[in-house]
Amino acid sequence: MARRWNVNVTPTERIARILVGSAGVVGGVLVAAGGASVWVVVLAAFLILAGLDLVVTGATGHCPLYQRLGHVPASLKGGMR
- What does the pLDDT read at residue 2? 65
At how many degrees (to 10) do helices 38-60 and 11-34 cross?
Answer: 160
Indicate the number of domains in the chain.
1
Q: How would you class 74 by CB atoms within 10 Å of its CB: exposed for 0-12, middle for 13-18, buried for 19 or more? A: exposed
Q: Domain for residue 81, yes or no? A: no
Q: Is residue 16 part of a domain?
A: yes
H helix count then E strand count, the chain? 4, 0
Per-residue pLDDT reduced to its tens digit, 62-80: 999 999 999 888 888 875 5
Which of 14, 6, 4 lies closest to 57, judged by CA?
14
- pLDDT per residue, tens digit, the chain (81 aa), is 567 778 999 999 999 999 999 999 999 999 999 878 999 999 999 999 999 999 999 999 999 999 999 988 888 887 554
Residue 20 lies in a domain: yes
Inside any domain, residue 65: yes
pLDDT given at position 1? 58
In a domain? residue 37: yes
SS3 27: helix
Q: Is residue 39 domain-resident?
A: yes
Q: What are phi and psi of 65, to 5 degrees?
A: -65, -45
Residue 4 has a pLDDT of: 76
28 is a domain residue: yes
What is the predicted pLDDT for the residue at 77? 81
Give the pTM.
0.84
Residue 20: domain span: 11-71
